[in-house]
């Protein structure tokens, strides 16, 4: 099993550089809806205290306030740049930079600790889980959303079909080989539940996004990398990878075409950047009205339907949305 090279010692610098760009700046409408569904599964007192653990630019603040209108939110993040942006966007709430291991907050002060795609990045998972559990009060909740290592998702299937599909990260934990280099682990829901249980928090609700979620978030380059038939373990595996690759590339292209603004396509069709690009833009303009219903279904209706039918199934979960409740009270 291969070992990744790691991130180096200065994690703050890594994320400062990322926040110079559009890192974690937007989420699909279906992802927003999924997170809303998860938040609606819990009840908080009026004026609840919420901690957004790894808040970035504060993009989840409106969703948290939509679910809990009178809440007071404190956001913490390792990136001072992201914290400054969050302060400008939401001056009525509090934001603090921290070292990524121990929140600058007192014990048992929060009714909810919310964490979106953070736990796959932290260097010391047990320390972070203990810290999140420390700052939530007895009877309060931790919502942890992150990639899922459970068996049966398209991504997990691909790791079993290719050589070297799973590797060891710099922290010695298993991760999918194609993942972002800042991902240090791919946890199963059982592993994460055990970690929180050891810190006094029990799993009370669990949700999973599944196969159709991949259509929206996997870029063509990532699809080609994950589902690479030339790295297959066998001829049969190569055939499965090829089918999945073509299917995801085609469905992804339809979704992207559905999303493309027509004004932009018209500009491209008249641009001087090459005959091939003009031809593709003109073809897209012609095809877009025909494919729009399919694109809309793939982007919104079908993922929502899949979530309603199968979000409770651990097998096949590509991302996990777990709700823990701290024991006591």
Helix spans in 185-274 (H): 189-197, 213-217, 220-226, 235-259, 262-269
Q: Which two tokens stand for residue 229?
A: 């038939």
Both tokens assigned to 65:
């306030």
Query: Stretch 214-237: mean pLDDT, rounded?
Result: 90
**Is 84 part of a structural domain of the chain?**
yes
Residues 225 and 204 in one domain: no
Give yes or no: residues 248 and 112 share one domain: no
Same domain? For 83 and 227 the reply is no
Q: Does residue 225 share a domain with residue 90?
A: no
Residue environment code for 138-158, b if the CB has 16+ CB neighbours within 10 A, otherwise e: eebbbbbbbbbbbebbbbbbb
Residue 19: per-residue pLDDT:
58
- Is 2 part of a structural domain of the chain? no
Confidence of residue 175 (pLDDT cuts 50, 70, 90): very high
The answer to whether residue 51 scores a pLDDT higher than 90 is yes
Q: Is residue 190 located within the same domain as residue 281?
A: no
Burial of 110 (0-12, 13-18, 19+ CB in 10 A): buried
Residue 3 domain-assigned?
no
pLDDT at 1: 46
Percent of the chain predicted with pLDDT > 70: 91
pTM of the model: 0.89
| 176 and 303 part of one domain | no
Residues 149 and 83 in one domain: yes
**pLDDT of 66 above 70:** yes
Task: Please check whether residues 127 and 268 belong to one and the same domain.
Answer: no
Task: Tally the domains of the chain.
Answer: 2
Same domain as 221, residue 176: no
Question: pLDDT tens digits, residue range 268-281?
Answer: 777 777 777 778 77
Give the sign of the dihedral formed by CA 264, CA 267, CA 272, CA 278. Answer: positive
Half-sphere exposure of residue 278, counting CA atoms within 13 Å on the CB side? Answer: 7
pLDDT for residue 287 is more than 90 = no
Task: Give the tens place of pLDDT for each residue, 243-259.
Answer: 999 999 999 888 888 87
Binning pLDDT at 50, 70 and 90, where does residue 308 land? very high
- The answer on 175 and 141 residing in a single domain is yes
Are residues 36 and 184 located together in one domain of the fold?
A: yes
The DSSP symbol for 301 reads I
Range of the domain at 188: 11-210+314-326
Q: Do 180 and 232 have their domain in common?
A: no
């Amino acid at each position: 099993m291969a070992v990744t090279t790691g991130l180096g010692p200065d994690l703050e610098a890594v994320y400062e550089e990322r926040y110079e760009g559009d890192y974690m700046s937007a989420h699909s409408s279906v992802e927003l809806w999924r997170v809303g569904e998860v938040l609606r599964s819990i009840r908080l007192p009026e004026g609840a205290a919420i901690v957004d653990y790894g808040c970035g630019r504060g993009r989840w603040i409106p969703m948290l306030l939509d679910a809990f209108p009178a809440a007071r939110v404190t956001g913490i993040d390792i990136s001072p740049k992201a914290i400054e942006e969050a302060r400008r966007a939401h001056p009525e709430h509090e934001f603090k930079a921290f070292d990524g291991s121990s929140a600058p907050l007192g014990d048992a002060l929060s009714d909810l600790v919310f964490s979106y795609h953070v736990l796959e990045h932290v260097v010391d998972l047990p320390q972070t889980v203990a810290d999140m559990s420390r700052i939530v009060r007895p009877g309060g909740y931790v919502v942890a959303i992150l990639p899922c290592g459970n068996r049966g998702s398209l991504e997990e299937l691909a790791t079993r079909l290719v050589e070297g599909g799973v590797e060891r990260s710099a922290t010695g934990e298993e991760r999918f080989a194609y993942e972002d280099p800042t991902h240090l682990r791919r946890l199963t829901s059982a592993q994460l539940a055990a970690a929180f249980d050891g810190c006094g928090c029990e799993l009370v609700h669990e949700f999973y996004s599944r196969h159709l979620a991949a259509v929206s978030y996997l870029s063509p380059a990532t699809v080609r990398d994950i589902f690479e038939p030339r790295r297959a373990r066998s001829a049969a595996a190569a055939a499965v990878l090829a089918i999945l690759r073509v299917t995801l590339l085609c469905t992804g292209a339809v979704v992207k075409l559905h999303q493309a603004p027509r004004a932009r396509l018209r500009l491209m069709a008249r641009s001087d950047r090459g005959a091939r690009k003009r031809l593709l833009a003109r073809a897209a303009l012609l095809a877009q009205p025909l494919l729009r219903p399919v694109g809309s279904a793939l982007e919104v209706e079908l993922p929502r339907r899949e979530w309603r039918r199968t979000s409770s199934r651990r097998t096949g979960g590509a991302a996990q949305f777990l709700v823990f409740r701290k024991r006591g009270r």
